[in-house]
Amino acid sequence: MTAARELLAEPLKLRCGAVLPHRLAKSALSEQLGDRRNAPTRELADLYRTWAHGGAGLLVTGNVMVDPTALGEPRNVALPVGPDPAAYEPWARSVAGTDAQLWVQLNHPGRQSPRFLSRQPAAPSAVPFGSRGVRTAFAAPRALTGDEIETIVDRFALAARTFVDAGFTGVQLHGAHGYLISQFLSPLTNLRDDEWGRDRSRFLLELVRRVRAAVGDAVPVSVKLNSADFQRGGFGEDESLRVVRALSDAGIDLLEISGGTYEKAVMMGSGRESTARREAYFLDYAAKARQVSDVALMVTGGFTTAAGMADALRSGALDMIGLGRPLTVDPELPGRLLAGEDVRAERLCPHTGIRLADSLLEVQWHTQQLHRLAAGKPADRSRGAWRALVRTGINDPLNAFRRVRA
């Protein structure tokens, strides 16, 4: 246990010169704590204060949308047309008094904007979802024009500068889980014959270039990237590794590895048995990424014990351990691990046995737990599956209606 604790406690110096205090990070979780106008609330700052004092050395926010007209969820925080950094300063100050760094995760949903938020979302190409269940929730998108793509790139750069001016210490671009960047990378969703389609990595690399220009060389710039989409004919591992090389050459500071989309939610735990035994969903891929890049690597998903985390670090395949859903039931988990306590990263979400319901439940049960933390309450570990789903059925339409009325 002592050896594991010492490995977890080692600082990590990034390419840009920034130093992360140790190897345990709180990975992005969609908080759904924006107000009716998609501005951050006091509860959001309180939540991050709780996590910062819980011992995480790096906190990555949930997806902040760069376009207020393109939301993935009704209570996303979204950058307004004319942003003021002062609106985000209380959130940035939430980590004061700790050694934690706070990075903003920037995102655009593309076609993954639900029907009740977008009657016709925009995407690289006009490709609807193939899965019948998912297609019910999301309208068929229209294809973005070249000028619209340039505008979106500018919005990412503006958002990055705004949050850094507010006091955030880093930026992560969400290039995974089927959102807009992921849609540009996939041959299933990017059918364009212009420069944005002939080189499907162009959009992501242009975002990295302009964000870096906006924030300067000393601010960490990170990317969350799918190892693969796990869909036939989609963004695969070989192409993903080519993108890793390009991102390394582009000068990013940390790459977080994930995988899957709304149609194939591998990031929720449906990995191979051999991978699960080693406590990391994407560790095999991380080892391959290490062979093509020396950029710092972070893997989120599946880690359970300090020993398993230390083994992954000791293997050299990765540099940071990402913790997500377990921190909604134990926000002090990083500090306890660093103190050498014999604790486990718990995943307590109940199940109904109905695949579609359980896919929704996996997100919503944990979201309800972090809402309790934001309100100063302890996690409700005994909350049942059907109670959580009923609450979701009430809250989501109500939040959508409130936003429309804003």
Mind listing the pLDDT tens digit for each residue in 212-250?
Answer: 999 999 999 999 999 887 777 788 899 999 999 999 999
The helix/strand/coil state of 122 is strand
**Structural domain contains residue 44:** yes
What's the pLDDT at 398? 61
**Structural domain contains residue 200:** yes
**Structural domain contains residue 395:** no
DSSP string, 192-241: --SHHHHSTTHHHHHHHHHHHHHH-TTS-EEEEEES---STTSS-HHHHH
**Cross-strand pairs, 147:** none
**Structural domain contains residue 291:** yes
**Structural domain contains residue 387:** no
Cα–Cα distance measured from residue 110 to residue 142, given in angstroms and rounded to the nearest whole number: 10
Q: Residue 88 gets which letter from DSSP?
A: G
What's the pLDDT at 7? 96
**In Å, what is the CA distance from 365 to each residue of 80, 358, 377, 399?**
29, 10, 15, 17
What's the pLDDT at 263? 57
CATH code of the domain containing 51: 3.20.20.70
Instruction: Record the pTM.
Output: 0.92
pLDDT lower than 50: segments of the chain? 266-278, 405-406
What's the pLDDT at 271? 42
Q: Which residue range forms the structural domain that includes residue 246?
A: 2-347
What's the pLDDT at 366? 92
C-beta of residue 149 within 8 angstroms of C-beta of residue 156: no
What's the pLDDT at 397? 65
**Structural domain contains residue 292:** yes
**Cross-strand pairs, 305:** 344
Cα–Cα distance measured from residue 366 to residue 275, given in angstroms and rounded to the nearest whole number: 23
**Structural domain contains residue 266:** yes
**Structural domain contains residue 308:** yes
**Cross-strand pairs, 224:** 174, 256
What's the pLDDT at 406? 46
State the total domains in the chain. 1
